[in-house]
Chain A
């Protein structure tokens, strides 16, 4: 079972560039999430979705955008990358509201 798949695993961006982190899940979960993790800071919620066509902001949404056109896919878009966006990004899905999260392997992004 693939579960939650994220790509790319590693990426280096220059300041001002844009990119999209891809996330797809094959568990038919309605709930999907994007978190970022900085050293010693735990996981911070960027955006989440409760189903296709519905997205909402989390705790740290500035500088990011998302879309949810299908149940399976939840891409995260970084516009005008800044050094503050250097982090590890995790996509996760859940079968229920506020339920257990299943995480992808993460995407390590460096902005120079």
Chain B
């Protein structure tokens, strides 16, 4: 069974700080990595995806991928109270699979 593990949280940071969310995965063949944000009672929404080793930045969000260590992370700079949500890491199964495996999520609270 392919596994995706996230830091269990909950994670609490002050407004303006950097929030760091981490995810490890078991399938070395995985090629696509996604971060979703889910507000309470809402559906997941895609905020970042990354396919290559290294960093990918989009506004206040940076995704980092290290395939050798099977590790992907999400950094949120200048955290805002509106960033308070559960963040889901998703990884595609290797071998060209159509399926994504999700972690259980990390709940982030940004305190004003």
Chain A interface residues toward B at CB < 8 A: 31, 33, 35, 40-45, 48, 50, 58-59, 90, 94, 97-106
Contact = CB atoms under 8 A, between A and B. Distances in A.
A101 B100 contact: yes
B43 A105 contact: yes
A42 B44 CA distance: 11
B43 A90 contact: yes
Contacts of B26: none
A41, A43, A50, A94 pick with most chain B CB within 10 angstroms: A43
9 contacts: A31-B98, A41-B104, A42-B88, A42-B103, A43-B88, A97-B98, A98-B100, A105-B43, A106-B42
A45 B2 CA distance: 12
Interface residues of B, number: 24
Interface in B12-45: 31-32, 34, 42-45
A11 B104 CA distance: 25
Complex A-B, nearest 9 residue pairs according to Cβ-Cβ distance, in ascending order? A98-B92, A42-B104, A103-B43, A43-B102, A97-B98, A42-B102, A106-B43, A100-B46, A98-B32
